[in-house]
Amino acid sequence: MKKIPVGILGATGMVGQNYIALLAGHPWFEVAYVAASPRSAGKKYGDAIAGRWALPKPCQPSLAELVIADASDVPRAVAAASRGELTFVFSALEMGKEEIVALEERYAAAGIPVVSNASANRWTDDVPMLIAEVNPDHADVIPLQRKARGWDKGFIAVKPNCSIQSYMTPVWALLQAGYEIRRMIVTTMQAVSGAGYPGVPSLDIIDNVVPYIGGEEEKSEKEPLKILGTVENGKIRSAEAPLISAHCNRVPVINGHTVTVSMEFGGKKPSVEQVERIWSEFRALPQELKLPMAPEYPIIVHSEANRPQPNKDRDVCKGMAVSVGRVRSCHVFDLRFVGLSHNTVRGAAGGGILNAELLKSKGYLA
């Protein structure tokens, strides 16, 4: 099977680098097009990232030779697509919100689907914000999006913020099992890689905690509601529950966002054992379809009292599983637990790739 040629917009940034690293050896996709800011355009990818490559595994030599396109040069991408050298793009753009919305729309309008990691289009109401295990059906707003925009093959799909990944799949598994979650209070302890590169200065985080991340609490509270929403009249209408309150903190951890969660149920309340069973047994469409990036176990339940821990558990199932532990009752709400997910894999490039696999399976990346 010939691999599908994909592009990466924002290929030199932290998330772009993660796409490059995670797509190495991917069975369906191969990176054939890299685009970045005008400053990098025209350089070989290897030269552009020299001294800025932030990952343990080196960049594949073949990609180092790719010449970087200007991300704003949509006609160039269209030309590549017409030669069969580009089917869709992953967007890891780092620009102002309006610029990203406009640029992602130009790609989509030109027939090039955009699977985006950026937050810019998350609240566009006909753009699905996908966690492949949770709301794969939201992908089906794409035909309506195309129709409304007058787009033919192009579309825009996004993934949510990294901070919610540690609790969103567990929450969904409980909802799907018939339990109603009314309210949640969550406190995140987030890794520095979530801030990109150079990101958090070391002077601010060695021997320290920063109890604030701009915009993160709002995302952590609101994005779950769109993901749990319903498609109505070609748009996604957000759910009204669970009501979430988030405290977001930065801690001296390189990768892996940890979260403490307290949940209040409406109606019947599951026992600790029921919750652990529901999570252990949870499988969803990506597992059914055996998508290449899908974790075999979407939720790993730990029984030791002191797990999950970012340093020890973030890499489980290629960094794509959510680890949970310390499921226990709560005197204030009903149940508490600790969640963990790898923010630059599950929460960023890995989640984006899984979304693309889902979209391919559903026929939207034909």
| Contact status: 216 vs a second copy (CB under 8 A) | no
Pick from 96, 143, 211, 266: which binds a second copy (CB under 8 A)? 211
Pick from 1, 203, 268, 273: which binds a second copy (CB under 8 A)? 203
| Contact status: 310 vs a second copy (CB under 8 A) | yes
Distances in Å between the Cα of 340 and the Cα atoms of 80, 128, 197, 208, 299 are 39, 24, 22, 20, 10
Residue type, 141: V
| Contact status: 271 vs a second copy (CB under 8 A) | no
| Contact status: 1 vs a second copy (CB under 8 A) | no
| Contact status: 60 vs a second copy (CB under 8 A) | no
Instruction: Identify whether 248 is a catalytic site residue.
Output: no
Any long-range contacts for 333-336 (C-beta under 8 Å, 24+ apart)?
333/183, 333/184, 333/185, 333/262, 333/263, 333/264, 334/263, 334/264, 334/265, 334/269, 335/262, 335/263, 335/265, 335/269, 335/270, 335/272, 335/275, 336/260, 336/261, 336/262, 336/263
| Contact status: 240 vs a second copy (CB under 8 A) | no
Instruction: Show Cβ contacts of residue 199 under 8 Å, excluding neighbours closer than 6 positions.
Output: 14, 192, 193
Pick from 189, 284, 291, 320: which binds a second copy (CB under 8 A)? 189
Pick from 140, 204, 281, 288: which binds a second copy (CB under 8 A)? 204
With b for 16 or more beta-carbon neighbours within 10 A and e for fewer, the 164-177 pattern comes to bbbbbbbbbbbbee
Q: Which stretch binds a second copy (CB under 8 A): 101-109, 126-134, 188-196, 349-357?
A: 188-196
| Contact status: 208 vs a second copy (CB under 8 A) | yes
| Contact status: 44 vs a second copy (CB under 8 A) | no
Give the count of residues interacting with a second copy (CB under 8 A).
63
| Contact status: 296 vs a second copy (CB under 8 A) | no
Instruction: Please give the DSSP secondary-structure letter assigned to residue 257.
Output: E
Residue type, 194: G
| Contact status: 123 vs a second copy (CB under 8 A) | no
SS3 at position 116: strand
Instruction: Show Cβ contacts of residue 203 under 8 Å, excluding neighbours closer than 6 positions.
Output: none
3-state SS string for 7-60: EEECCCCHHHHHHHHHHCCCCCEEEEEEEECCCCCCCEHHHHHCCCCCCCCCCC
Q: Which stretch binds a second copy (CB under 8 A): 31-39, 60-68, 229-237, 300-308?
A: 300-308
Q: Which stretch binds a second copy (CB under 8 A): 48-56, 59-67, 105-113, 162-170?
A: 48-56
Pick from 254, 266, 281, 366: which binds a second copy (CB under 8 A)? 254
| Contact status: 272 vs a second copy (CB under 8 A) | no
Structure tokens belonging to residue 161: 């913020």
Query: For residue 252, which of 210, 308, 213, 206 has the smallest C-alpha distance?
Result: 206
- Residues 59, 138, 247, 257: which is the catalytic one? 257
| Contact status: 283 vs a second copy (CB under 8 A) | no
Instruction: Identify whether 257 is a catalytic site residue.
Output: yes
In the bound state with a second copy, the residue whose beta carbon lies nearer, of 158 and 261, is 261
Instruction: Please give the DSSP secondary-structure letter assigned to residue 125.
Output: T
Pick from 67, 102, 209, 366: which binds a second copy (CB under 8 A)? 209
* Sole residue written with tokens 């010449």: 67
Residue 225: in which H helix or E strand, if any? helix 216-227
- Residues 138, 162, 302, 317: which is the catalytic one? 162
Segment 329-348, which members bind a second copy (CB under 8 A)? Answer: 330-333, 336, 338
Active-site residue set: 162, 257
Residues near a second copy (CB under 8 A):
50-51, 54-57, 183-185, 187, 189, 192-193, 197-212, 214, 221, 243-245, 247, 249, 251-254, 258, 260, 262, 304-313, 315-316, 325-326, 330-333, 336, 338
